[in-house]
């Protein structure tokens, strides 16, 4: 069950016999919903307070983690499905060359070590969507990127943050990039995302 406001997240359990280690967000996304997962790196790891590796024969805490279910249509019309544990990024927060829109779907609020969505929670049954308007200047983007380390880039008239459980967007121009948990997806045409609550089992 997804977390509710005011409730404690997680439950105490005995150490599972088999634990799968994930060293990045992309590795979490490769795990199944039946795995018990210990994470050692990535933005979800940072969002959880960078928990240390578990020692055997100790009690631990089980945390349910939502998944982003991703449907991608490529330029040739082919389609593929995948998962994201942390984030999906369309365009770039900052580029010295291009000044285009930037859209980021984040599960835990932390993206590349920056707190871009301070109210996000990785088990609330929703993802947060931060959008930077294409008209935002390169100088303001650079400033916002620095402030985003502490979440102080908000509020800003050209930056919006909302929550949702479904999302669909088409590519605007051949230079617009797409990455899922830090992995670039070339030649994409359209992306659709839905939330899968309580999908992964994280042990800390």
Strand ranges (E), the chain: 11-14, 20-22, 36-39, 59-74, 79-84, 87-90, 102-106, 110-111, 114-115, 127-132, 159-164, 166-170, 178-180, 183-184, 188-203
Does residue 153 lie in a domain region?
yes
Average pLDDT on 81-99 reads 92
Question: Which residues face 131 on adjacent strands?
Answer: 103, 160
Question: Which residues face 87 on adjacent strands?
Answer: 106
Helix (H, G, I), strand (E, B) or coil at 198: strand
Domain boundary (22, 43, 66) is at: 66
Q: Are residues 36 and 105 in the same domain?
A: no
The pLDDT tens digits of the residues spanning 61-74 come to 999 999 999 999 99
Does residue 200 lie in a domain region?
no
Does residue 201 lie in a domain region?
no
Q: Are residues 188 and 132 in the same domain?
A: yes
Q: Are residues 144 and 76 in the same domain?
A: yes
| pTM of the predicted structure, to 2 decimals | 0.92
Q: Are residues 119 and 143 in the same domain?
A: yes
Q: Are residues 23 and 61 in the same domain?
A: yes
Q: Are residues 72 and 169 in the same domain?
A: yes
How many folded domains does the chain comprise? Answer: 2
| Range(s) of the domain holding residue 137 | 68-195
CB 105 within 8 A of CB 193: yes
Domain boundary (66, 83, 100) is at: 66
Domain boundary (43, 66, 89) is at: 66
Closest CA to 171 of 187, 194, 190: 190
Q: What's residue 46's pLDDT? A: 95
How sure is the predictor about 6, in pLDDT bands with cuts at 50, 70 and 90? low
Q: What's residue 176's pLDDT? A: 94
The pLDDT tens digits of the residues spanning 139-182 come to 999 999 999 999 999 999 999 999 999 999 999 988 899 999 99
Does residue 156 lie in a domain region?
yes
Q: Are residues 34 and 76 in the same domain?
A: no
Does residue 7 lie in a domain region?
no
Q: Which domain CATH number covers 132?
A: 2.60.200.40
Tokens describing residue 70: 């991703």
Higher pLDDT pick, 156 / 52 = 156
DSSP string for 148-176: TTTTTT-SBTTEEEEEESEEEEE--STT-
Does residue 128 lie in a domain region?
yes
Tokens describing residue 180: 């899922």
Q: How far apart are CA 104 and CA 84, in angstroms?
A: 12
Q: Are residues 187 and 120 in the same domain?
A: yes
């Amino acid at each position: 069950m997804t977390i509710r406001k005011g409730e404690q997240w997680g439950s105490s359990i005995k150490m599972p016999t088999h634990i799968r280690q994930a060293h990045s967000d992309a590795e979490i996304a490769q795990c199944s919903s039946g795995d018990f997962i210990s994470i050692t790196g990535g933005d979800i790891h940072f969002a959880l307070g960078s928990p240390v590796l578990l020692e055997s024969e100790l009690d631990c805490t089980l945390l349910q983690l939502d998944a982003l279910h991703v449907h991608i249509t490529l330029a040739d019309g082919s389609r593929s499905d995948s998962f994201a544990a942390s984030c999906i990024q369309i365009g770039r927060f900052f580029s010295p060359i291009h000044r285009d829109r930037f859209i980021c779907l984040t599960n835990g609020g932390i993206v590349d070590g920056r707190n871009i969505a301070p109210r996000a929670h990785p088990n609330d049954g929703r993802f947060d969507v931060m959008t930077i308007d294409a008209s935002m200047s390169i100088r303001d983007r650079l400033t916002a990127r620095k402030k985003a380390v502490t979440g102080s880039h908000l509020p800003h008239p050209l930056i919006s943050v909302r929550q949702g459980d479904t999302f669909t967007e088409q590519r605007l121009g051949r230079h617009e990039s797409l990455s899922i948990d830090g992995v670039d997806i070339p030649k994409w045409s359209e992306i659709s995302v839905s939330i899968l609550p309580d999908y992964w089992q994280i042990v800390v």
